Amino acid sequence: MLDRETLPVVSKFICESDFSDTQNRYLFCAIKKVIESGFQADPVSLNEHIKGNGELLQFVATLAATYSD
């Protein structure tokens, strides 16, 4: 969803609760937040958002928990 105009279209069909995988749900929410803040959801913007909001540790913990099973 690099294109900010895509989010409103996609959001009509998909919401965060549609993702059973925690990682994908987390990334979808991060993408939405970045786009709703007026930025393009590219890897650099997502990285800045995750680091800037103190969500990096939460994301890493989620990854670790997923792959430890």
Q: Using CB atoms within 10 Å of the CB of residue 19, give its burial: 0 to 12 exposed, 13 to 18 middle, 19+ buried.
A: middle
pLDDT, position 25: 86
Phi then psi for 38, rounded to 5 degrees? 95, 10
pLDDT, position 50: 78
Tokens, residue 38: 């007026």
CA dihedral 62, 7, 3, 25 (to 10 degrees): 10
pLDDT, position 13: 92
For the chain, which residues make up each domain, given as ranges? 6-67
pTM to 2 decimal places: 0.71
10-residue stretch averages of pLDDT, the chain, 69 residues long: 77 90 84 88 82 71 67
Task: List all residues 6 or more positions away from 55 whose beta carbon is below 8 Å from its beta carbon.
Answer: 30, 49
pLDDT, position 18: 93
